[in-house]
Amino acid sequence: MDANWIAIAASIVLQSSPLIIAVCGETLSERAGVVNLSLDGSLLLSAMAGFAAAYVSNSLLLGFLAGAGVGALMALVVAFGSLALRQSQVAVGFVLTLLGDSLSAFLGQNFTRLPGIWVPRLPIPWLKDIPVLGPIVFNQDLVVYFALVLTLASTWWIFHSRPGLALRSAGERPEAAFARGVAVRKLRYAYAVLGGALVGVAGAAYSLDVKIGWAEGHTRGLGWIALAIVIFGGWSPLRGALGVLLFVATRSVISVVLQRSLGESSVVVLNALPWLLMLLVLLVVSGRLGGQLLARLPAPLQRPLRGLMQAAPPAALGAELKEG
């Protein structure tokens, strides 16, 4: 493989990592039945908080902790609003999205465009020497390794561990979970907050690693992309992570091709690309377009492919918890 392509692949992996972390976090939360729609605002605010904390304290660890704390707090508000006060998750999440955006602009006004600290590269001995895979995956930094481990660990946790059973049952059939002794409400709080903290880590990973620094609207739009990729991934972290890689790779490749062929005016197409991709992917995954494509395939292929392409959301996702 061309060294140039390897460099591009490595940068795709690096750029995907925060988004993967956010997708894993949101997947955990939605599997438990809580939609945290505030992702876009959470990412912005935690990116700002992470940068500011690291800048002031000169400590990366404090930066990431601040990001995680902010993300967890936002998720806690969504969870509290829906689980305790029975308000619409969508409404609370939407308001928090805007509030997070404006808070990040206001609180971050004195941290704009400052040189900060960043996550250093940390090649893993031995593994980095594997041909192709080594330089792409193992010659990276801790954020990338964290995303990798998180993806595998959360996939195992959700689908193959005993607590994962409780997690999924709370999102699919809370009354059955309750009958087996699962504390559904507590569990939903816990995973919502954990998911929010991961989103916060993702936000800090942007300002401290992938898009180093802070400016107003630093990550605007990425939260919505993450929410769409959770759907694309069929509420599985592994498939979500693949979705992120696919998304970032498509964008990188098309941007390289476009810049060569179109020059100046490519910027318009390039900016529009993520949103067109998002629409297309959602049409295929959850929409009628996907169904029509499937219907044209030979019958024996249809069922397994439908399972692969079109996953159903957790049945009780976003539903009010009925008790008493």
Contact pattern for another protein over residues 235 through 264, marking x by CB under 8 A:
------------------------------
Segment near another protein (CB under 8 A), from 14-22, 115-123, 156-164, 248-256?
156-164
Closer to another protein by Cβ: residue 10 or 282: 282
Segment near another protein (CB under 8 A), from 24-32, 126-134, 142-150, 315-323?
315-323
Assess 91 for contact with another protein (CB under 8 A).
Answer: yes
Assess 182 for contact with another protein (CB under 8 A).
Answer: yes
Short-list 39, 44, 214, CA closest to 117: 214
**Alpha-carbon Rg for the chain in angstroms:** 20
- For residue 88, the Cα-to-chain-centroid distance in whole angstroms is 22
Closer to another protein by Cβ: residue 238 or 285: 285
Assess 308 for contact with another protein (CB under 8 A).
Answer: no
Q: What 8-state DSSP symbol labels residue 235?
A: T
Assess 165 for contact with another protein (CB under 8 A).
Answer: yes
The distance of closest approach from Cβ of residue 11 to another protein in the complex, given in angstroms and rounded to an integer, is 24
Cβ-contact 35, 209 below 8 angstroms: no
CA 169 – CA 208 distance, rounded (Å) = 36
Interaction residues for another protein, span 2-61 (CB under 8 A):
37
CA 68 – CA 204 distance, rounded (Å) = 8
Residue 16 burial class via C-beta count within 10 angstroms: exposed 0-12, middle 13-18, buried 19 and up: buried
The neighbour count for residue 143, using CB atoms within 10 Å, is 24
The neighbour count for residue 193, using CB atoms within 10 Å, is 22
Closer to another protein by Cβ: residue 128 or 220: 220
Out of 123, 134, 221, 318, point to the residue binding another protein (CB under 8 A): 221
Out of 1, 109, 133, 297, point to the residue binding another protein (CB under 8 A): 109
How far from 138 is each of 50, 90, 126, 152, CA to CA, in Å?
A: 25, 39, 9, 16
Q: 113-127 as b/e, with b when 16 or more CB fall inside 10 Å?
A: eeebebbeeeeeeee
Say how many residues touch another protein, by CB under 8 A. 68
Assess 279 for contact with another protein (CB under 8 A).
Answer: yes
Assess 84 for contact with another protein (CB under 8 A).
Answer: yes
3-class secondary structure, 141 = strand
The distance of closest approach from Cβ of residue 104 to another protein in the complex, given in angstroms and rounded to an integer, is 9
Binding site for another protein (CB under 8 A): 37, 77, 80-81, 84-87, 90-92, 94-96, 98-99, 101-103, 105-106, 109, 160-163, 165-166, 168-169, 172-173, 175-182, 221, 224, 227-228, 231, 265, 268, 271-272, 274-276, 278-279, 282-283, 286-290, 303, 306, 312, 315, 322-324
